[in-house]
């Protein structure tokens, strides 16, 4: 069995007691925690060429360390030449130790590699304590070899928490080390 991820140990030993004090929580089970991370990559051009979807799935497999599942169109949209049931992207849901390792790699190595990085927006919360981050290219991850990609692809990363409101989720993500811009 692999060692416990560094960020998970930090959460359990340092962040939970700090959040109990900061948020005034009486029950330790009510402390906000990260439940899962969903990485989604839409490949609109896959409607015409299925090889693009295979390349996107391979990139996501390398980045997350887990086999992605294919997402399909829910309804037909004639303007985009998309038919119902057609493969249009892929996604991965990370939980447990893989989630913590991915988060650690994202915060420590990938985000600092973004060009002209000045922090991430604190306005991308959904009102229920979940945060979504958009990334414009997969090249920020060091696992991806620049010579082996056919085109740059963006992705959405959603951090799902059990916090009921945005303020608690913001406190949790800030304590985990998210580089938010100042409000």
pLDDT at 97: 92
Residue that the structure tokens 């799935």 belong to:
57
pLDDT at 138: 79
The token pair at 16 is: 């939970």
pLDDT along the chain (183 residues), means of 10: 78 91 90 94 73 86 92 84 84 94 90 84 90 87 79 89 91 91 74
Strand-pairing partners, residue 37, are 94, 159
pLDDT at 1: 40
Helical residues (DSSP H) of the chain, grouped into ranges: 6-10, 16-23, 50-64, 96-105, 166-176
Q: How large is the greatest C-alpha to C-alpha distance in the chain, in angstroms?
A: 55
pLDDT at 69: 94
pLDDT at 77: 81
pTM over 0.95: no
pLDDT at 100: 94
pLDDT at 172: 93
The token pair at 6 is: 């560094």
């Amino acid at each position: 069995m692999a060692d416990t991820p560094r960020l998970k140990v930090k959460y359990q030993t340092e962040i939970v007691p700090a959040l109990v004090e900061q948020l005034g929580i009486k029950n330790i089970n009510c402390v906000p925690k990260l439940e899962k991370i969903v990485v989604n990559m839409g490949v609109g051009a896959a409607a015409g060429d299925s090889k693009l979807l295979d390349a996107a799935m391979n990139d996501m497999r390398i980045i997350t360390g887990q086999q992605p599942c294919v997402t399909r169109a829910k309804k037909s949209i004639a303007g985009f030449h998309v038919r119902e049931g057609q493969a249009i992207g892929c996604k991965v849901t990370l939980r447990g130790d893989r989630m913590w390792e991915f988060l650690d790699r994202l915060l420590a190595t990938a985000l600092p590699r973004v060009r002209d990085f000045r922090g991430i927006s604190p306005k991308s919360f959904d009102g229920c304590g979940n945060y979504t981050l958009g990334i414009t290219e997969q090249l920020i991850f060091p696992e991806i070899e620049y010579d082996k990609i056919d085109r740059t692809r963006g992705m959405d990363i959603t951090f799902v928490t059990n916090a009921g409101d945005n303020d608690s989720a913001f406190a949790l993500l800030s304590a985990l080390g998210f580089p938010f811009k100042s409000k």
